Amino acid sequence: MNKKVAFYTLGCKLNYSETSSIGRIFRDAGYETTEFNSAADVYVINTCSVTDNADKKCRKVVKEALKHSPNAYITIVGCYAQLKPKEISEIPGVDMVLGAAEKFNIIEHINDLTKQEKAVIHNTPVDEANQFIPAFSIGDRTRTFLKVQDGCDYSCTFCTIPLARGASRSGKIEDIVEQAQQIAASGVKEIVLTGVNIGDYGIRDGKRQDRFLDLIRALDRVEGIDRIRISSIEPNLLSNEIIEFVAQSSRFVPHFHMPLQSGSNKVLGMMRRRYKRELYVERVAKIKSLMPECCIGVDVIVGFPGETREDFIDTYNFLNELPISYLHVFTYSERENTIAAQMEGSVPGSQRSDRSKMLHILSEKKRRAFYDSQIGTVAEVLFEGDIKDGYMHGFSKNYVKVRSQYDPLLVNEVIPVELLAVNELCEVDVKELPVILNYL
């Protein structure tokens, strides 16, 4: 009987693409993949260092795995595994910790699954993680996360990602196009391009050899994919050329997620971001001039050291006036080995929490206004296979979330619907199909 392996992923879309690729490595080695909440011989937990309580989350997931299979072999990979290998190795039940350069060689490290008295650590310096390892998720949902870039050469004062993933590096255009063709052949309708800093795409062997614009032009020609979505891209790297290309593309969708982090130029300087807020305004204006229906998401950090109440209000007003669609709000938390952790002017936790709540409310207001602006339009929705209380969900090209009564014939199909109401309880008849615009 084949040994069974189960996976759990914390963190970003890049992690999900890499977990899926590690899953294929196990299947090629003869393992059978099973659900995390069932008995397995091996559990692989892919960790994140960006969000709070990485240690607490990791411990909880390990404990849950051992409930299902007390003698299972527990392996921890991912950013947290690179940054804190010894700390992770001391979590009860952990058998192996693999750093950034080792995680894709996991089968070689696992060997016969013999449990040792102490957890085994394979963790080399992050500068040895200098190869681009391709990855994409498949079989999990109707969209696929395709990794096109890894690592980061930026030095934002709050961020540990360069310490966890190493320098910026990318795959070759022809290799990524080939992966997209494989994805298309599998029947997936939407690809989400992902990476650590995807706008910096094109560096190989320490030298720039391509541009992100070259990559998306090549991907736009891949037959069989209905939609391609760009994940987070830095405003200084989102050129007018890229915006103009997306505006005329039949495959790339009108949706950008552009990190801001702060609307205060003073705070942006302390963060060592590579732009000022004026550039952000220019990018949003350019997008909206060519694609008025475009969805624009924003990352923002509250409570950064030295952020005064005036700085926060400056950020709030700046965001309130921009024609953006939603916010991802992060409450600043100190990270070891970052410059920000040593800065003066620490913001009390209660103030960080209050600022976060204000921006979450603003995000709901912005999302509602964006959804309201779409009422009366016809949208093509890609329906997913999830079921909740008898409903299934889907997204329009410009990231409006809808729900409909579950119908298995709609899964992974692109269906035109008319958007009539932003109300979770309001059913909309569209060609005899009840559709609800789901406001979340």
What are the boundaries of each domain within the chain? 4-124, 378-437
Confidence of residue 427 (pLDDT cuts 50, 70, 90): very low
Q: What letter would DSSP give residue 287?
A: H
**Taking residues 55-74, what's their average pLDDT?**
91
pLDDT, position 432: 34
**Taking residues 137-158, what's their average pLDDT?**
88
How far is CA 83 from each of CA 73, 145, 233, 257, 376, rounded to the nearest angstrom? 21, 24, 24, 27, 50
Q: Is the pLDDT of residue 95 over 60?
A: yes
Instruction: Write out pLDDT tens, residues 97-121.
Output: 999 889 999 998 887 778 888 899 9
Judge if pTM exceeds 0.85. Answer: yes
Computed over every residue of the chain, the mean pLDDT equals 90
- DSSP codes of every residue in 5-67: EEEEE-S-HHHHHHHHHHHHHHHHTT-EE--TTS--SEEEEEE-SSSS-HHHHHHHHHHHHHH
Number of H helices, E strands in the chain: 13, 22
- Sign for the CA dihedral angle at 139, 145, 148, 150 comes to negative
Query: 150: part of which helix (H) or strand (E)?
Result: strand 149-150
Lowest average pLDDT, out of 51-55, 216-220, 227-231, goes to 51-55
List the structure tokens of 44: 């692989």
Which segments within 255-373 are labelled E, that is strand?
Answer: 255-257, 295-302, 326-331
Instruction: Assign domain 4-124 to its CATH superfamily.
Output: Methylthiotransferase, N-terminal domain (3.40.50.12160)
Instruction: Write out pLDDT tens, residues 326-385.
Output: 999 999 999 989 999 999 999 999 999 999 999 999 999 999 899 889 988 889 999 988
Give me the helices (H) in 69-143, please: 79-83, 85-89, 106-110
pLDDT, position 393: 83
**Taking residues 293-298, what's their average pLDDT?**
97
Q: Within the chain, what is the greatest distance between any pair of CA atoms? A: 64
With CA atoms as reference, report the closest residue to 256 among 226, 208, 218, 290: 290
Q: What letter would DSSP give residue 231?
A: -
- Sign for the CA dihedral angle at 245, 155, 170, 109 comes to negative
Q: Is the pLDDT of residue 91 over 70?
A: yes
With CA atoms as reference, report the closest residue to 78 among 57, 51, 101, 62: 101
Asked whether 201 and 194 are in contact (CB, 8 A), the reply is no
Residues 6+ apart with CB under 8 A from 365: none
**Taking residues 402-407, what's their average pLDDT?**
83
With CA atoms as reference, report the closest residue to 299 among 281, 283, 319, 314: 319
- Dihedral of CA atoms 17, 18, 20, 22 in degrees, nearest 10, equals 170
Confidence of residue 141 (pLDDT cuts 50, 70, 90): low
The amino acid occupying position 230 is I
Pairing of strands 42-47, 73-78: parallel
Q: Is the pLDDT of residue 423 over 80?
A: no
pLDDT, position 431: 37
Q: Is the pLDDT of residue 145 over 60?
A: yes
Q: Is the pLDDT of residue 243 over 90?
A: yes
Instruction: Write out pLDDT tens, residues 369-382.
Output: 998 899 888 899 99
pLDDT, position 86: 93
List the structure tokens of 43: 């559990």
- Give the percent of the chain with pLDDT over 90: 69
**Taking residues 195-210, what's their average pLDDT?**
95
Q: How many residues does the chain have?
A: 440
Q: How far apart are CA 384 and CA 423, in angstroms?
A: 20
pLDDT, position 140: 57
* 426 vs 37, higher pLDDT: 37
With CA atoms as reference, report the closest residue to 406 among 424, 389, 418: 389
- Select the highest-mean-pLDDT range: 153-162, 233-242, 370-379: 233-242
Give me the helices (H) in 207-303, please: 212-219, 240-248, 265-271, 277-290
